[in-house]
Structure 1
Amino acid sequence: MGSRPRGPRGMSTMLEGIRVLDLSRVIAGPYCATMLGDLGADVIKVERPPVGDDLRVLRGKNGISASFGAINRNKRGIAVDLQRPEGVAIALELARRADVVVENFLPGVAAKLGVGYAAVSAINPAVVYVSVTGFGQDGPHSRRPGYNTIAQGMSGLMALTGHPGDPPTRVAGSTSDLSAAWVAFGSVCAALVHRFRTGKGQYLDVNLLASSLSLLPDPTAIFFDTGVRPQREGNRNPAIAPGGAYKTKDGYINIVIMNQDQWGRFCGALGEPALEKEPRFATNAERISRYDEFVAYVESRLATAATAEWIERFEAAQIAAGPVYEFHEVFEDPQVQHLGLVATFDQPGLGPVHALPFPTRASATPAAIRRPAPLLGQHTGEVLTELGYAEDQIERLAVEGTILLHPSP
């Protein structure tokens, strides 16, 4: 269905021939579908007329926003009212032809609309169907709406983030949404491998709470092992010293050492070789027990030079160290630029959009941004024609409000 996605210079793509129906909105579900699209899947995003995905209007204009463009690239888009029987029929026909269906309705809503797993698997037993919700399909919280900040608060991410004495702190960005997107993406790919081996599809239940908590395997293991409630530690690793952010002459530097040999090299690079045998700081345990004193000593030395100079010194000594950037500085880093960690494409209705491309560099089947995010209803006519709808049927559905058509840009 549709043209076969091709990668850079016509190279084949990793998920060439895989068809994805994206019934989701905002971030977690859509970004899962986008990553499948980055790897070459043919993704069709279904939105509700007349406004579409909520992310279109958040900090947006002309029905498009930079966030929507970045999170919904590599998709074709149709606008269909799933509250109408003929709209459901369109979605089901797309689902019948799909390899993957992604949705993030509250539990039970997709089934009520007629596009739940039972209905879809009845006509397409091999489908991989993933639901992304706040708390899962069952249990005492399953009916609650869930968003990034709520999941961060309930998973412990906020409890562990912040400085001692400060309140729980939200982790920047849509961390919980994106953790769920990555979990859903990986689960879908694994389920597709299973299907290729067995011919059987399956249902995948992904939620923000579990995905967020999955980012904390070591604090969880330590808590249950010791019974000690973890505290907010700020910018340090409580198990090692140095292991965190330290102030320099012009900013901050992260330094991590893992063993005694590295400690000796660190002291040499700091210009304090005698520090290696200083009884107060000679072992990791001593440094941790006197951490405030240790930090004061180290920062008094780091204050004599700029971060960049210390990076050079520690790199020469093979000590792991890196600058603590302000966000705008991230994109000026030569390694970030070398890796091509920001891609720019022209987004119709908005202009240039800067997006984070797929982070893995594959040798044979590289990911690529092949098309911008769709305008609302941009491909409705095209997709319905592929499904076998005649022009007069498409026009009737548009007049009745079941679908929304948008001229190609």
Structure 2
Amino acid sequence: MPHLPASAALARFRVIDLTQVRAGPTACRQLADWGADVIQVQMPEHMRGDDTLGGQDGSDYQYTHRNKRSITLDLKQAEGIATLKRLIAGADVVVENFRPDVKHRLGIDYASLAADNPGLVYASISGFGQTGPLAQRPGFDQIAQGMGGLMSVTGIPGDGPVRVGIPIADLCAGIFCAQGILVALLERQSSGKGQFLHTSLLESMVYMMDFQTSRYLIEGEVATQAGNFHPTSIPTGVYKARDGYMNIAVFGSKIWERFCAILGAPEWVADPRYHDKAARSVNRDALNAEINRRLAAQDREYWVKQFNEGGVACGLINDMRGVFQEPQIQHLGMVKEVVSKWHGPQKLVGQPMQLERTPSTIARAAPKRGEHSEEILLELGLTREDLTRMKSNGVF
């Protein structure tokens, strides 16, 4: 089956996906979900070198590689490299996450490929950057979470550093990479030229520290763990009602007044221990204990309704079952359905932004390794005889 675009938005672009694990495949999934013809290049079955994300039949792999086609090529063979270069010659984008030296060794670095395809946008994702003292060091999500500062501000004070429960460095690096690719493609419309762009898990993680970076760089303040409570806006955090936990966010004096009224404690507004943000910061523990004592009188459903109707942000803390039972999430249509010829009907989360005229969908389930090798090679102009010879030689 030829390219089956998931959206009209990027359907004119072809992307060669040379990535493994999560950050690179995430970048390519973003492009595939918006219609790009993403061709995933994998090692042949006999090499078995890139079974990642829990194996190719696992739910993680199915989610990450939907809307792509797959070809296998042995890049240790000269004909495998030559075929890849032929594929790239007609492409708009290449995405890779080898260690920085590997692409040069294989002769598929940006300079080498741009000589034949000057409009090529070449995107690289690494652990620590393309150059510098750590460029050759292997990079993984949790390493970047630690080095980028996130683990130092996550968790309960005194309990030691805590990793975030998703691979946030991988995911952010992939999303930033996809954004960079789109920027480069936009720029190409005026210059006619492609370019080399790169990001890393470490850079993405530092960027995602956001206001914590400015607190240090501008004010010299080194943030520490604040647990489930906002470090500067009080009271904002996790509180316990009669039947479980919920989040409440109180930002600003007007919302503080509303919060006190709803909780049945209007006297707190004038109480010198709590009347302004500075006082509430000093007396945070006492205030939180008193809030929890009052919240224990009712269930979460009651408080969520009361606070939101009163103009105070409040919400449940859901597990994954609760997430997909949320009426608003159901209304937003975030769950998409697709039929895999290998696994049958599947439900997967779609893109989190909606383009009304060119929406994204899931048009194709994740492919098996090399599922589209022959059709892609035939599109390149190779003959059936070429394919027979290449197959017997283990090129794909």
Q: Give the TM-score normalised by structure 1.
A: 0.93
Q: Distance in 1 between matches of 2:222 and 2:3?
A: 55
Aligned residue identity for 2:324: F
Aligned: 1:222 with 2:219: no
Do the aligned partners of 1:135 and 1:207 also contact (CA within 8 Å) in 2?
yes
Distance 1:55 1:309 in 2: 45
Determine the C-alpha separation between the residues in 1 that align with 2:149 and 2:4.
43
Cα separation, 2, equivalents of 1:182 and 1:81? 28
Residue 345 (1) aligns with residue 342 (2) = no
Which residue matches 1:312? 305
| CA offset digits 1:142-180 (Å, max 9, x no partner) | 001111111111111111111100111110111110000
Tell me if 1:284 matches 2:264. Answer: no
1:28/1:132 contact within 8 Å kept: yes
Alpha-carbon separation, structure 1, partners of 2:140 and 2:337: 28
Quote how far apart the aligned CAs of 1:4 are.
6.2
**Given the alignment, which residue of 28, 31, 35 partners 1:33?**
28
Q: Report deviation, 1:83.
A: 0.7
Q: What per-residue deviation string (whole Å, max 9, x for no partner) do you get for residues 30-86 of structure 1?
A: 111111011111111000112263326x2x4xx421111100011110011011011
Q: 2:102 aligns with which of 104, 109, 126?
A: 109
Q: What SS does the corresponding residue of 2:199 show, helix, strand or coil?
A: strand
Q: Which amino acid aligns with 1:391?
A: R
Per the alignment, in what secondary structure is the counterpart of residue 55 of structure 1?
coil
1:53 corresponds to which residue? 50
Give the structure 2 partner of residue 303 of structure 1.
296
Give per-residue Cα distances to partners, 1:211-240, cap 9 Å, x unaligned.
Answer: 111111211111233323221110111211
1:167 equivalent to 2:160? Answer: yes
Counterparts of 2:360 and 2:132, CA distance in 1: 38
Structure 2: which 5+ runs fail to align? none
Which residue of 10, 19, 30 maps to 1:15?
Answer: 10
Report if the CA contact (8 A) 1:55-1:67 is conserved. no
1:328 is displaced (CA, Å) by: 2.5
* Alignment correspondent of 2:116: 123
Contact 1:160 1:233 in 2 (8 A): yes
Where does residue 243 of structure 1 map in the other structure?
236
Distance 2:147 2:165 in 1: 16
Give the one of 336, 349, 358 matched to 2:351.
358
Partner SS state of residue 338, structure 2: strand
Q: Secondary structure at the match of 1:310?
A: helix
- Once the 2 structures are TM-superposed, how far is the Cα of residue 299 of structure 1 from its aligned partner? 0.6
1:192 is matched with which residue: 181, 185, 189? 185
What is the SS of the residue equivalent to 1:176? helix
* CA-CA distance at 1:318 after TM superposition: 0.8
Q: Which secondary structure does the structure 2 equivalent of 1:46 belong to?
A: strand
Give the structure-2-normalised TM-score: 0.96
Aligned pair 1:144/2:140, yes or no? no
**Which amino acid is the alignment partner of residue 81 of structure 1?**
D
- Report the count of equivalent residues: 394
The answer to whether residue 19 in structure 2 is matched with residue 24 in structure 1 is: yes
Equivalence map 1:258-297=2 (5 Å): 258-297=251-290
Equivalent position amino acid for 2:120 in 1: V
> C-alpha separation between the residues in 1 aligned to 2:201 and 2:311?
38
SS in 2 for 1:193: helix
After superposition, the Cα gap between the structure-2 partners of 1:301 and 1:349, relative to the gap in structure 1 and judged at 3 Å, is same
CA contact (8 A) 1:66 1:350 kept: no
- How far apart in 1 are the matches of 2:228 and 2:3? 49
- 8 Å CA contact retained: 2:338, 2:363: no
Distance 2:193 2:115 in 1: 13
Give the alignment partner of residue 38 of structure 2, picking from 19, 37, 43: 43
Q: Distance in 2 between matches of 1:209 and 1:285?
A: 34
Letter in 2 for 1:48: M
- Per-residue CA deviations over 1:355-379 (Å, capped at 9, x if unaligned) read 2211111111111111011111100
Show the counterpart of 1:406.
Answer: none
Please say if residues 37 and 75 of structure 1, whose CA atoms lie closer than 8 Å, have aligned partners that are also in contact: yes
Counterpart of 2:82 in structure 1: which amino acid? A
Q: State the Cα distance separating 1:3 from its structure 2 match.
A: 4.1
Which residue number in structure 2 is paired with residue 10 of structure 1? none
Q: Distance in 2 between matches of 1:245 and 1:105?
A: 41
**2:373 corresponds to 1:376:** no
**Segment of structure 1 superposing worse, 218-227 or 67-76:** 218-227
1:125 Cα deviation (Å)?
A: 0.6
On the 8 A contact 1:43/1:76 being kept in 2, the answer is yes
Q: Does 1:155 align with 2:148?
A: yes
Deviates more, 1:195-204 or 1:349-358: 349-358
Aligned residue identity for 2:287:
F
Query: Of the candidates 46, 55, 61, which is equivalent to residue 68 of structure 1?
Result: 61
Distance 2:222 2:363 in 1: 48
Q: Secondary structure at the match of 1:354?
A: strand
How far is 1:21 from its partner?
A: 0.5
Structure 2 distance, partners of 1:298, 1:398, is: 69
Deviation of residue 100 (structure 1)? Answer: 0.6
Output the CA distance in 2 between the equivalents of 1:48 and 1:176: 25
**Conserved? CA contact 1:257–1:320, under 8 Å:** yes
Name the aligned partner's letter for residue 5 of structure 1. Answer: P
Residues 36 and 258 from structure 1, CA distance in 2 versus in 1: closer, same or farther, beyond 3 angstroms? same
